[in-house]
Structure formats: C-alpha cells, structure tokens
Amino acid sequence: MRSSRLAFGALAALSLAATAAPAAAAHLEFQGGRSYMDDYGTPAFFVESVFDPQPMGQSRFTWSPDVSIGYIKGRDVGRYRDSHPGVTNNVWVGALGARFHYGNEGDWYRPLFFSFQVAGTAGGRTQALSSGYEFVSTLGYQWKNVSFQIRHISNGSFQEPNRGETMALVGVGFDI
C-alpha cells in the first residue's frame, strides 16, 4: 500500500507542477463522465492542462503538450469477485503526452483533436488497468470552455488481463 501512495504522490506532484506553470499553460479543464470496462460502467474524473500549440514544420498540424491526472472508481462485478486482479480498486492515472489539431484558426474542424499520452497508475490494479503503465488515446471536440471526448486507456496488451477503460467525458475549462 505504501508504494501506491508514493506513486500517487509522484503522479500528483508531476501533474500539479505542469499545471502550475503559468507562463506556458494555455488551458485548464475539469472533465467527468462514465467509464466502461466491457459493459460495466463507473464514474471517471480528470483534470487536464493543455499548453500552447506548437506548429509541426510547415504543415497545418499543431501539437500541444498535454498533462492530466484522473480517477476511475472501482466496481463490484460478481463475475470478477474471485479474479486477480479484480475490479474493485479505485485507480489514479497520471499522464503526459501531446494533443494534435489540424487546420487554421477559424476552420470549422480546428476544434477536433486527437491526443496520445503515456500514463502511470496508482491505487491498485484491475482487470481493465492491470499494469503500472498505460497508454491514453483521446478523440474529442474542444470549444473555448466546453469539450466532449471519447478516451481509451489500456496497456497495449503488454500485460494481461488488458480489458482497458473506455469513457465518454464532458469537460469544462478556462484559459490560464
């Protein structure tokens, strides 16, 4: 249990340090929604900071550093009660990666984004998140203060079981 607290503390410190950098931070967002492993849902919450966009060469693509910390509540599912790992642990996720956009400011499709992050977990293992490392893929639409996202977290089958978490999130944010 002590290593879980230490890992959570390290993830929280990394995420808070990144979100506290006022000179570089562009957008801070609070997201919530429902996460599913198979057909079993549970609440999920994230705080995400997306930094200023950077051009990718001479293309119309941009990328932004993207840092998040999240919480996925455990579940009580009868068929997994005797499994190891089970599904009852609450899991904290700290992630670092990039958000990608295409187009110029004002293009109708510019608010569409894809992000990819590498993540660490703390708080325990589950059938969905069975390793200390995970990959986070998000497809979404970002208005100025509201976003809608579909996010998937899994370890890419590097360790079994690997059911993954797939969630629908709504975010409310502001520029800092």
Q: What is the pLDDT of residue 109?
A: 95
- Cα–Cα distance list, 168 to 43, 84, 99, 152, 163 (Å): 10, 27, 17, 9, 16
Q: What is the pLDDT of residue 160?
A: 86
Q: Which one-letter amino acid corresponds to residue 124?
A: G
Which of 84-88, 106-110, 164-168 is predicted with the least confidence, judged by mean pLDDT? 84-88
The per-residue pLDDT of the chain, averaged, comes to 87
Measure the CA–CA gap between 27 and 46, rounded to whole angstroms.
Answer: 14
Q: What is the pLDDT of residue 1?
A: 45
Q: What is the pLDDT of residue 24?
A: 64
Measure the CA–CA gap between 65 and 54, rounded to whole angstroms.
Answer: 9
Percent with pLDDT over 90 in the chain: 64
For the chain, list the domains and their CATH numbers.
Answer: 2-95+110-175 (2.40.160.20)
- Cα–Cα distance list, 72 to 21, 67, 102, 150, 167 (Å): 26, 17, 30, 15, 10
What sign does the dihedral 29-30-34-37 (CA atoms) show? positive
| Chain-centre distance for alpha carbon 35 | 11
Q: Which one-letter amino acid corresponds to residue 93?
A: V
Q: What is the pLDDT of residue 26?
A: 84
Grade residue 20 by pLDDT with cuts at 50, 70 and 90: very low
